[in-house]
Amino acid sequence: MAAKLEILTERLTVLAEPTRLDILMIISEAGTCCANDLLAHFDISQPTLSHHMSVLMENGLVTGTKQGRFMRYSINKDNVKELRRVLDLLCTEPGTENPSSEKKKKKSPKGDKKKKEKKKKK
């Protein structure tokens, strides 16, 4: 759990940089982008963009696929969804069940049967 928390914390730190967050939003809207597409949106140099892309890729927020001379970037949706789950937990009202525990309950109908049996016995 501690290692997972460190990864999530690092990803949130990466997202705290405005240019990187903006890059993710642009890629998300477009589906995929190459560096030239991204550079058109910013007043930064190509090496600076490369640095941001490296940080995003190293932290698992973006994936890159080589197409000829160009790299096409896309959002790593699994890792971004994991961040979303964490943020959703922070918004859960005290005393209510969090969204991730609801999914677990739906997957295990055996647990529901046991609860029903206990209620019948009472």
Average pLDDT of the chain to the nearest whole number: 84
Length of the chain: 122
Scanning the structure block, which residue is given the tokens 């019948």?
120
> In terms of pLDDT, which residue wins out, 89 or 101?
89
Instruction: Examine the pLDDT at 67 and tell me if it is beyond 60.
Output: yes
pLDDT band of 21, cuts 50, 70, 90: very high
Task: Look at residue 120 in the predicted model and tell me its pLDDT.
Answer: 55
Place of tokens 């647990």: 111
Sign of the alpha-carbon torsion through 21, 23, 27, 29: positive
Give the class (CATH, top level) of 1-122.
Answer: mainly alpha
Nearest to 55 by CA among 73, 43, 37, 39: 73
φ, ψ dihedrals at 95, nearest 5°? 85, -5
